[in-house]
Amino acid sequence: MMNLKRCLRVYLIMGSNNTVRDPLSVLEEALKGGITLFQYREKGANAKVGQEKKELAMKMKRLCHKYSVPFIVNDDVLLALEIGADGVHVGQDDEIVASIKAQCPKDFIIGVSTTNSQEANQAVKDGADYIGVGPIYATDTKEDVKLPIGLEGVAEIRSTVGDLPIVAIGGIKTSHVAGIIQAGADGVSVISAISQAKSPKIAARQLASLINPS
Ligand code: TZP
Ligand code: MG
């Protein structure tokens, strides 16, 4: 089994509408810069569906695997299973962990979004492999976003979930990384900080350099 905490260090999330460029070239640059995990999140305006979504997902999976980086699908458990993704990430209103576990292979990674200790504890009980914690800061990237929980929120959740792998999310820029790791997260997940960067490769490399190997 891979070291999940290490994989969570520089976690890129992206769908086709998070960039005006070709998402596959943005992804490849980010992979070259050192992202450690990728989540395909196809949502919002002009989101791809059906075969188009599946084709992009398969291309992204191949690219990630070329760089030995796990590929995770947001929400769409059936797509994740169909194309042999490494895992799935679900929110509080999506398919429940027990139902995912009933369908997926043993080593399938299951991540759950949480905003407070109660949701985090439930995710632990349900058997999530890791939790996303946030939003840490305000962000324009997600429409129905909840109130920011700040570094205090990360620290509080860390104190209740023991050693469970945690990745922080929401409005994260390079300048925030040290504080977020200090507060107890194992890594940072970003959309715009990499997908909207002039150089996704340099952006990924900067984030990676701020999280020291341990
Ligand atoms: N969930 C909580 S905040 C967020 C998601 C998917 C958006 C993160 O995007 P950005 O651009 O890194 O703030
Ligand atoms: Mg969701």
- Please list every protein residue whose CB sits less than 6 Å from any atom of ligand 1: 134-135, 139, 141-142, 145, 169-172, 190-193
Within a domain: 131: yes
Residue 180 CA to ligand 2 centre (angstroms) = 23
CA-CA distance, 23 to 187, in Å (whole number)? 23
Annotated binding residue 43: yes
ipTM reported for the complex, 2 dp: 0.98
CA-CA distance, 111 to 27, in Å (whole number)? 21
Within a domain: 84: yes
Ligand nearest to the CA of 15: 1
Beta bridge partners of 12: 38, 190
Q: Whose CA is nearest to atom 9 of ligand 1?
A: 191
Within a domain: 121: yes
In which element (H, E) is residue 131 found?
A: strand 130-133
Q: Whose CA is nearest to atom 3 of ligand 1?
A: 170
- Domain of 115 in residue numbering reads as 4-209
| Nearest ligand 1 atom, CA 142 | 7
Within a domain: 214: no
Place 41 in a pLDDT band, splitting at 50, 70 and 90.
very high
Beta bridge partners of 189: 11, 169
- Annotated active-site residue 66? The verdict is no
Average pLDDT of the residues in 73-78: 97
CA-CA distance, 153 to 155, in Å (whole number)? 5
What local confidence, expressed as pLDDT, does residue 143 receive? 86
Residues 97-134: tens digit of each pLDDT: 999 999 999 999 999 999 999 999 999 999 999 999 99
Residue 214 has pLDDT above 60, yes or no: no
Number of domain units in the chain? 1
Q: Whose CA is nearest to atom 6 of ligand 1?
A: 142
State the Cα torsion 181-40-30-212 to the nearest 10°. Answer: 20
What local confidence, expressed as pLDDT, does residue 1 receive? 54
| Sequence-distant contacts of 22-27: CB under 8 A, at least 24 apart | 23/56, 23/60, 23/195, 24/56, 24/59, 24/60, 24/63, 26/194, 26/195, 26/200, 27/60, 27/63, 27/64
Q: Whose CA is nearest to atom 11 of ligand 1?
A: 192
- Annotated active-site residue 21? The verdict is no
Question: 178-204 b/e with 16+ CB inside 10 Å = b?
Answer: eebbebbbbbbbbbbbbbbbeebbebb
Place 212 in a pLDDT band, splitting at 50, 70 and 90.
confident
| Nearest ligand 1 atom, CA 171 | 13
- Annotated active-site residue 146? The verdict is no
From the list 5, 16, 61, 113, the catalytic residue is 113
DSSP H stretches of helix in the chain:
4-7, 23-33, 50-66, 77-82, 97-103, 117-126, 150-161, 177-182, 192-195, 200-210
- Identity of the amino acid at 14: M
Cα within 13 Å of Cα(56), Cβ side: 20
| Nearest ligand 1 atom, CA 170 | 3
Average pLDDT of the residues in 16-43: 98
What local confidence, expressed as pLDDT, does residue 46 receive? 92
Global confidence as pTM: 0.97
Are the C-beta atoms of residues 54 and 79 closer than 8 Å to each other? yes
Residue 17's CATH number: 3.20.20.70
What local confidence, expressed as pLDDT, does residue 2 receive? 77
CA angle 132, 181, 12 (to 5 degrees): 50
Annotated binding residue 11: no
